[in-house]
Structures are given as C-alpha cells and as structure tokens.
Structure 1
Amino acid sequence: MTDPHASTPSALENAPDDVKLAVDLIYLLENHAIDPDTALSAIEMVRRDLLAKKNSPP
C-alpha cells in the first residue's frame, strides 16, 4: 500500500523562508548541543551584524 501523502509537499516545504531558516537553525543548535546562552549570544551578534548591513548604503 502506498502512502497517500508521499506526493503531497510537507508543511515546511510550503512555509515562508524565514520559518524554514528558523527550523534549520533550531535543528543545527540542537543537533550540536549548543548551550542556549551561547546560542542567544551568537544570535544577538548576528542580529546586530545584519541590521548594520541592512542600514548601510550599498
């Protein structure tokens, strides 16, 4: 018997790019057993860097 959902895209495939990226990041952090405080500190650094790039002229 075949899986009726095999050809149906998963919810993640149809999710917005930011959701897909968040899922990937969560998986990466959990898979590598990154301490939550270390992860939050790194995420804040990335946030500041991206905001600086976003606000700087091309």
Structure 2
Amino acid sequence: MSLKDAPLEVKLAVDLIMLLEDNDIAPDVVLAALEIVRRDYESKAHAANPHVPGNE
C-alpha cells in the first residue's frame, strides 16, 4: 500500500515522525510531548462524545 492510499492517521503519523526527525528532537522529549497531546485529545474526544462507553 502506498502512503497516498493510507488512512489519514497513518499519513499524519508519518508527517509527525518526519517533522520530529528533521528537527532532531530527542525521543524522551517526543514521548513526553505526545503524552500531553494524547491527554488533550482524549479530553476533547470526551467533550465531543460524552455518552460513548469509557468516556463516562
């Protein structure tokens, strides 16, 4: 499968990896930042869908 046909989340992941690698960001800094982003987006997902199981 080519990247052109890949799901949006795969395309985003590839773009983020390239951005982080091009800027030589240390892996521990990347992981810490991704944890912050994950928490932020989980909060946004919960706010958008408060009745989804697991979001209660």
Give the TM-score range, shorter chain. Answer: 0.7 to 0.9
- How many aligned residue pairs are there? 49
- CA RMSD, Structure 1 to Structure 2 (Å): 1.6
Instruction: For structure 1, list consecutive stretches of 5 or more residues without a partner in the other structure.
Output: 1-9
Structure 1 residues 16 and 57, CA gap change in structure 2 (3 angstroms): closer
The one-letter code of the counterpart of 1:11 is S
Percent identity for Structure 1 against Structure 2:
51
Query: What SS class does the counterpart of residue 3 from structure 2 fall into?
Result: coil
Q: CA deviation at 1:56?
A: 1.2
What TM-score, normalized by structure 1, do the two folds share? 0.78
Instruction: For structure 2, list consecutive stretches of 5 or more residues without a partner in the other structure.
Output: 50-56
Structure 1's consecutive aligned runs of 4 or more residues displaced over 4 angstroms after TM superposition are none
Q: Which has the larger radius of gyration?
A: 1
Structure with the larger helix share: 2
